[in-house]
Each structure stands twice: as C-alpha cells, then as structure tokens.
Amino acid sequence: MTDTPSAPVAPSSPAATATAFASLTLSPALLQGVDALGYSAMTPVQAHSLPAILDGRDVLAQAPTGSGKTAAFGLGLLHTIDAAKIQTQALVLCPTRELADQVGKQLRKLAVGIPNLKVSVLCGGMPLGPQLASLETHDPQVVVGTPGRLQELLRKKALHLRGVRTLVLDEADRMLDMGFEEPIKEIVGKLPKERQGLLFSATFPDAIRAMATAMLRDPVEVTVEGGDTHAAIEQRFFEVDPEKKTPLLAALLLEYRPESCVVFCNMRRDTEEVVGSLSHYGFTALALHGDMEQRDRDEVLVRFANRSCNVLVASDVAARGLDVHDLAAVVNYELPTDPDVYVHRIGRTGRAGKAGLALSLVAPREVNRTEPIQARQGKPLRWVKATPLAGKTKSAPVAAMVTLRIDAGKTDKLRPGDIVGALTGDAGLAVAAVGKIDVFATRSYVAIARGQAEKAVTRLREGKIKGRKFRVSRM
C-alpha cells in the first residue's frame, strides 16, 4: 500500500527553519488556539513535520516525550476539519487512557477558535454507556481513544469512521508493546483508503517500520533526537551487585533528595518489590504497572502528580501518558536493552530548560547495555561510586502533601471550586494549604499540606460540601 519511507529530515540550523507559527498556512482560528496555549516558537518536531502535514503528506516521526508532538499532529488534523459537517473526520489512537485524556484536552485548547467542534475521548476503563449515548447524539468530528475500546465501539456499530481524513498513531511503539497490533489493524481496515496518516513513536523498532510500510503512503520521515532536550540532564551511572540495588537506590534518594522521582523497572514484579523495600526505608513510594485496575492506576497517578507521593516505581508501558511537570529525577533500576528506551525514559526530566537528573543502577550483567547508550551520546558516560544504605534511616524525605478522597464527583455536579470553598470556609484552611484537585465521575481527590490533613478530614466530615454530606477519607 505504501513505499519505503524517505530519508530522515535532519534538523538544520535555526536560520534555515522558520520557527514562528505565523509562518505556516494556519487559519486565524487555529492561530487563536496557538496563542491561547502561549506558544511562541515551534519546537523542532513541529518545525520539521508541520509543513509536510499541512501539505497533506503522510509523516513518520520519531520524537521524545515532551517534544511538542501533540501540537504538531493536533494542528495538522484540525487544519482539515469541517466543523459544519457532523461526521468523524480525524482519529487519534493512543496506548493509554491517560495519554488519550491529555491529547483530548490539548486538542480542545487548540480548537478554541473553532465553534461547534466535538472532540470525544473514548477509552477503556470507563463506563461504556455514556460513550454510546454521546455517539448516538451525534458523531464527533474528532475521536481520540485507545484501540481496545474503539474496536469494541466499532463492533457495536456505534463508531462511524467512513469520513476519516486523518489517522494519527501516537506512541505507536507502546501500542505494539501492549499487544494492540490486531485491534489497530481492524480499526485501520475500516478507514477510507484515501486518508492522511501520521505515525509518532519514541523508538523505531522493526515492528514500527513494518507498521509504517503498511499504513502510510510515501511518508516524510522526521527524526528529532533528544540531544538538545537532554543537555540539561545530569546523567550518572553506578555499578552495583544485584542484591545491593535497593539499598543503593535508597542511598541515592537520600543523597539527591529529589522532590519527585520515577524509578523505572523492566519487569512488573520488580515494581512491587522495590516499593516494598523503599517503604521499609521510610519513603513514600507507589507502584504503577500494567496489571493494575484502572481506578487503582488513576489514584496512583493522582497522588504522584499532586505531590503526596514522591517516588513512583513504574514499568515503561504503565508510565506512558504520565504527565508530571517538573519531574526532578529519573532512576533506571535496571537499564533497558534498547538505547532508545533509555533516551525516552530520561527525557521525562529536565524539561522546559530546567535541570534534570538521571541515575542508572548497573549490575555487572548489564554493563554491555551501556555501550550503545555511550555510542548514541558520542561521549563517555559518567561513572560514580556510591555506598548502599546499611540499615534503616530516619531521614527519608516525606511527601509534602496528603491526598483526601471524596466519594462524589462530576455526576454529583461537584466542581473544584466547591471543594476549595468547603476547605477554606467551614474547614478553616488557608488557601495555601490546598493543593491540586482532581474531579472524576464519582469521586474527587484533593491534596492537602501534610500538617493540615487531619484537620481537613475532620472538618469536612463534620461539615458539608455544596450543602451536602459526602464520605471523606485520607489515602
């Protein structure tokens, strides 16, 4: 169906590439969205892919997390949307619900100047009924979703894709890792043959090349290395005996004391074991892996994002879609076998010009995995000696916040402002003691400064929120 991808488009000098969004053939409505998001200049992936996307070309893009790829394909697909036509015209496939939610939110912001545009986020882990009801009302112009749920909706004949002009595969490598190849093939088989295809991936294994060959037509290939992105990341490698890894991890967390840290494990079972060991040392740590129920996963992500947990121990697949601003450090508990995965992991810290820290624990059998990482970076790696922790510690940093769960949410017409009002009114808390608030369909979460948490729980249980009593518990 397609030719082999053309040669990579290598970023050229800044002078050679126009970086202002106004230099593109974007409508005033989309430029309004760009302004609303505060974007001034294009990132490299946007500068090198958007002209081709707006020209109607298929694009195969390799770009690290945080490179601005969502705005690249978002502006591209919105550019072709006819909001007056009640028909699904763009489809974005994502590996996880969290990533799909983020993409949906950003597309809505970019489309702020387009009236009557319906963007639907359709993912597993959520009740099917409301999604079916929404699709019955009228087809959304843009659908963002996970392959499993979209496949289910297609089979129920609730999702209509005959009018799709643009297909986006976001983080395609992780969708394959999660076993979504067959659902993707089934979904793509329902699309018109004449369409634009945009495939974004952090890594380009052979399976992604095969997918590109099957689903894209003569794509422009864009590769944005993480070099500039990672310039502000301090990378340190520690050789350690396997049985000493967790004591060394605890020692490093005590030494560097990152406010927030993701520890990457290659195996799901390791995430639980590492969390157990870190908790033994006194750290506030939580595990995130692919076998968790959606509600448990949501709660872990909420607690990490709102700073009531400062160490998240995760598998690669589970961490996709993780959106945490100012991530202080990344730790490789075990080095990945693919250097692209290493680059993708450490790219989660040191964003937006801020300094980042990447620490890697390397067992003797993993030392050979450092060679391709060093070859890719083109300079020697920094090896550091450190002493594993002996015994317990009383100085483990405690998370600054505590999360309260309220058994009420959007279905109860509860809004963040209602929760803030109850806490700062009857509960008597200062506004500064109230942190991030997340409202889901049937439950809400609010971060409270640790020293004020018990007072907040007591007052909320005794008082009311929006004139009603709801069950409140500390997590």
Counting the structural domains of the chain, the total is 3
Check whether residue 74 and residue 122 sit in a common domain: yes
Domain finish residue from 207, 223, 239: 223
Measure the CA–CA gap between 318 and 291, rounded to whole angstroms. 9
Check whether residue 161 and residue 72 sit in a common domain: yes
Q: Residue 330 falls within a domain, yes or no?
A: yes
Q: Residue 389 falls within a domain, yes or no?
A: no
Which pLDDT score, from 0 to 100, does residue 13 have? 34
Provide the β-strand partners of residue 169.
Answer: 93, 199
Check whether residue 203 and residue 234 sit in a common domain: no
Query: Residue 445: which CATH number?
Result: 3.30.70.330
Provide the β-strand partners of residue 119.
Answer: 142
pTM of the model: 0.62
Which pLDDT score, from 0 to 100, does residue 10 have? 39
Q: pLDDT at residue 18 above 60?
A: no
Check whether residue 197 and residue 251 sit in a common domain: no
Measure the CA–CA gap between 288 and 301, rounded to whole angstroms. 8
Check whether residue 353 and residue 436 sit in a common domain: no
- % of the chain beyond a pLDDT of 70: 91
DSSP string of 180-244, one letter each residue: -HHHHHHHHHTS-SS-EEEEEES---HHHHHHHHHH-SSPEEEE--STTGGGGEEEEEEE--GGG
Check whether residue 260 and residue 245 sit in a common domain: yes
Q: Residue 456 falls within a domain, yes or no?
A: yes
Which domain does 422 fall in, by range? Answer: 401-474
- Per residue in 118-168, pLDDT tens? 999 999 878 889 999 999 989 999 999 999 999 999 999 999 999 999 999
Q: Residue written as tokens 């949501």?
A: 298
Residue 47 per-residue DSSP state: H
Check whether residue 435 and residue 373 sit in a common domain: no
- Per residue in 19-77, pLDDT tens? 678 788 888 889 888 888 778 788 888 888 999 999 999 999 987 666 788 899 999 99
